[in-house]
Amino acid sequence: MISTILKFIIKHVLAIHKGTLITKVKAALALSLSISPIAYFAEKITDWTFENEAYVVFVLGAIIVDHGLGTLKHLFIEKDFSIKDNLIGLIKKVGLVVTVGFLFEGVNFIVKEDSFVKSYAIIVLRMAVFLYPAGSAFWNSYIITKGKFPPVGFIDKMKRFNVNLDVREFKEATHKK
């Protein structure tokens, strides 16, 4: 497939440089029509990434930390480490974070006007995307430290958030009196 794409590009670039005026116009049109959608989407993704740089860094950082802690857990605690399973797990986690994150950002985009609903949706959906790798990293840390860190109360708050999507789990005390 890549060789076909390269052949297409080379053929049309050569036609632009050596062909007749009509051939040059046709080649330029064919190249621009085939490449412009890719450039358009690449620009949109780049713009979104720069606008949300901190969010992207934290989510990718959570994936890296989770991968490292998960590797340690499987090497030293569970003693069942496999390079193949390790790489498959990493690819799954990155793939799911990217695809589900994309879908959640679509939900956030659909709600046009700024409102409480939009703000809440952005917070909840981004927390869900972040907590998928971060929650796994916290759990790996909990296992490695034999329940000493992070505190069990924090682990319980994460579990409740995953059930009810209530961001107040992290904002205020939720214990019953």
Segments making up each domain of the chain, as ranges: 2-40, 52-171
Q: Please report, rounded to a whole number, the percentage of residues in the chain having pLDDT higher than 70.
A: 97
Q: How confident is the model at residue 73 (pLDDT cuts 50, 70, 90)?
A: very high
Expressed in angstroms, the distance from the first to the final Cα of the chain is 64
Position 177 pLDDT exceeds 60:
no
Distance CA 21, CA 34 (A): 20
Q: Please give the structure tokens belonging to residue 99.
A: 């695809």
Q: How far apart are CA 38 and CA 18, in angstroms?
A: 26
**What is the structure's pLDDT at 116?**
86
Confidence of residue 176 (pLDDT cuts 50, 70, 90): low
Q: Alpha carbon 82 to chain centroid distance?
A: 24
Residue 87 sits at the vertex; the CA angle it makes with 81 and 90, to the nearest 5 degrees, is 110
Percent of the chain with pLDDT over 90: 75
Mean pLDDT of the 38-48 span: 94
Looking at residue 63, its pLDDT comes to: 98
Q: Are 58 and 127 in contact (CB under 8 A)?
A: no
Residue-level pLDDT at 133: 97
